[in-house]
């Protein structure tokens, strides 16, 4: 196991939810942290809640601004002189039927959840190659392994992340670069409340499943253990994790289970 203690870690989507909980957990492990999000004030609040604030740098990041990624990466590296790990956590979900969903919603989901993450990772990749060391940790979803109603664009973007980072691992393992894909099920965050609906507006309410899911601090601890073990993929949640294995061996059965549960 490669302990994460004391490493220089860059966390995106750190202003709330999983990213916020990760920041606190990594701060407790004396990591030097670069925390990013679009909301500066929320990042400041997260930093104020940490014990080792001198080891935390704030860096505003908008994943839709892919042209700025090289500049943002340079700023991140300059914060502590290097980066040991990038945790791609920022993203947005969806709750709408395909027939009702505007194409602009799909584009936004791809721009944020897929292309923004790819652009940031590509910009950092030369630094990891030069160091012959580094770890990409990308938060996808169980929905990156099988589909679910009302999440078509979200599932598509998360499936795409698996394809990209599987290839990145294959191409750059010889450069000392590790890739870990974290696949959450239901976690108690605001991801459901902030999910995009058919016209691009927020759902603005919680799903019962999410609010009965894993506590976010418990999830963060499980995630860190998977990162330290350099797992290729880690599935985390409750009963919903069984969908991974049903999909693999009995795809028609999973289809019937999901359709029945949706009704």
Task: Look up residue 57 and give its two tokens.
Answer: 């740098």
Q: Which of 150, 154, 186, 235 is catalytic?
A: 154
Q: How does DSSP assign 178-224, residue by residue? A: EEEEEEE-SBSSSTTTT-B-TTS-B--S--HHHHTSB-HHHHHHHHH
State the Cα–Cα distance between residues 209 and 57, nearest whole angstrom.
34
Instruction: Give me the sheet containing 56-60, strands edge to edge.
Output: 56-60, 32-37, 8-12, 85-88, 134-139, 177-184, 233-236
Active site residue 235: no
Query: How far, in Å, CA of 124 to CA of 103, rounded?
Result: 30
Residues annotated as part of the active site: 154
């Amino acid at each position: 196991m490669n302990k994460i203690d004391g490493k220089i870690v860059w966390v995106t989507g750190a202003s709330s939810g999983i990213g916020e909980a990760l920041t606190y957990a990594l701060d407790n492990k004396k990591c030097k942290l670069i925390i990013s999000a679009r909301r500066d004030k929320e990042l400041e609040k997260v930093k104020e809640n940490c014990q080792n604030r001198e080891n935390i740098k704030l860096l505003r990041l908008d994943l839709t601004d892919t042209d700025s990624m090289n500049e943002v990466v340079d700023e991140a590296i300059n914060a502590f002189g290097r980066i040991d790990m990038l945790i791609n956590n920022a993203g947005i979900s969806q709750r709408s039927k395909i027939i009702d969903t505007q194409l602009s919603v799909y584009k936004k989901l791809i721009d944020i959840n897929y292309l923004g993450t790819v652009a940031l990772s590509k910009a950092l990749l030369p630094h990891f190659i030069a160091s012959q060391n580094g770890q990409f940790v990308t938060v996808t979803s169980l929905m990156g392994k099988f589909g679910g109603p009302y999440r078509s664009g979200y599932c598509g973007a998360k499936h795409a992340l698996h394809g990209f980072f599987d290839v990145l691992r294959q191409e750059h393992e010889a450069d000392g670069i590790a890739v870990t894909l974290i696949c959450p099920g239901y976690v108690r965050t605001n991801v459901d409340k902030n999910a995009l609906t058919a016209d691009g507006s927020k759902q603005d309410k919680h799903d019962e499943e999410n609010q009965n899911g894993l506590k976010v601090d418990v999830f963060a601890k499980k995630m860190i253990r998977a990162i330290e073990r350099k797992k290729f993929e880690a599935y985390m949640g409750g009963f919903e994790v069984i969908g991974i294995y049903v999909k693999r061996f009995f795809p028609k059965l999973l289809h019937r289970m999901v359709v029945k549960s949706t009704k």
